[in-house]
Amino acid sequence: MHRIITNEELAPGVHRLVIDAPLIAKARKPGQFVIVRLDQGHERIPLTIADGDAAAGTITLVIQAMGHGTKAIVATPAGGAIRDVAGPLGAPTHLLEQGHAVCVGGGVGTAVVHPIAQALHRAGVRVTSIIGGRDRPRVIYHDELARLGTVQVCTDDGSWGRKGLVTEALAELCVADKPAIVYAVGPVPMMQAVANTTKPHGIATVVSLNPVMVDGTGMCGGCRVTVGGQVRFACVDGPEFDGHQVDFAELRSRLGTYRAFEAQPCADGACKARKAADQILQQQQQ
C-alpha cells in the first residue's frame, strides 16, 4: 500500500497527489511513468511521474478525473492509500545537453513536461515553456515552470496570457528565437499541431503518447503505435517518440475504439483493464 501524503485540486477535475513510493522516487527519470491500481479489482491506470523527492521517498502524480477509475483515485483523501504503484516504466526522456529547448504543455500535459523542464534546467539548458488551457482556472504548473525559465501562457478565452492556441505562440517563437528541440505533451490534436508547426523549421520534436495501456511491459500489445512506418510499443519503446514520425491518425482511431467501453463502471468487482486486455487479445487473433 502506498500512502497518499497530500491530495490537492489544481484545476477543475485535476488533482495533484504526493504519494509514498521510496523505491520509485530513487529510480525514476524524466519521462517515465507508473501504473497504479487503487484497490483489488480496479483498473490499471498509467500516469506519468510529474515530480519526485528521493530524500522524502515520494513521487507526485497529476490526475485528471475523467473515468470511474481516475475519479475514484482523486476522491481518496490524504491519509488514504493506493494499493499498487508499479514503476518506473518506459524509457527516460532523451534530453538536450546545451542550447535552447521549448516545453509545450496543454492541460494536464503541462505537469508531464515539468520534470523534463527540471532536468533541462539542471543541465544548464535554456528553457522556454508554452502552456495552455481553456481558461485561467485550467492552466496548471505555471509557478513551477517559471522557476526554470520563461513561461508563455495561452488561454482559449484570453483570461490569462495571450488569447489563442499554444501552437500560435510556438510558431512565432520558431522564427524569433528558434529552439534546438521542442518537447510537447497534451491532447493528441495539440501534439500533432505542434509537430506540424515545427516540421517546416526542421526543429526536432518529441511527443509523449497516451495509447491504451494495460500491463506496461509490452506483452499485451494494447499500446502499439506506428512511428516512422514501424510498430512500436509506447510502454517500453516510449512513451516519447519523434513527433514528425508518429501516425497520429492511427493513434486517434485506436483511442476512440475504447471510449464507450471506458465510460462503463466496473461491475461485480470485475476489472476493466482485464476486460480490455481480453478484447485486445481477441482483436489480435482475428
Under DSSP, the state recorded for 137 is G
Nearest C-alpha neighbor of 241 from the set 229, 232, 250: 232
Give the residue, 69 or 243, on which the prediction is more confident.
Answer: 243
Spell out the domain ranges in the chain.
Answer: 2-89, 100-255
- All 3 cell numbers of residue 4? 497518499
Integer Cα distance of 248 and 265 in angstroms: 28
Structure confidence at residue 260 (pLDDT): 59
Same fold, 2-89 and 100-255: no
Residue with cell 546545451: 98
What is the rounded average pLDDT of the residues 67-74? 88
Q: What is the pLDDT of residues 6-19, one digit of tens each?
A: 999 999 999 999 99
Tell me the average pLDDT across 45-57: 93
Backbone angles phi, psi at 93, to 5 degrees: -65, 135
Q: Which three cell numbers stand for residue 226?
A: 506506428
Whether the pLDDT of residue 277 is over 80: the answer is: no
Given a cut of 60, whether residue 72 has pLDDT beyond it is yes
Q: Which fold has domain 100-255?
A: Rossmann fold (3.40.50)
pLDDT at 142 over 60: yes
Please list the residues that pair with 278 across neighbouring strands: none
The per-residue pLDDT for range 166-201, each reduced to its tens digit, is 999 999 999 999 999 999 999 999 999 999 999 999
CATH number for the domain running over 2-89:
2.40.30.10
* pLDDT for res 207: 95
- pLDDT of 278 above 80: no
pLDDT for 252 equals 86
| pLDDT confidence band for 214 (50 / 70 / 90) | confident
Residue 81: pLDDT over 80: yes
Q: What is the pLDDT of residues 114-136, one digit of tens each?
A: 999 999 999 999 999 999 999 99
Alpha carbons 191 and 185: distance in angstroms, whole number: 6
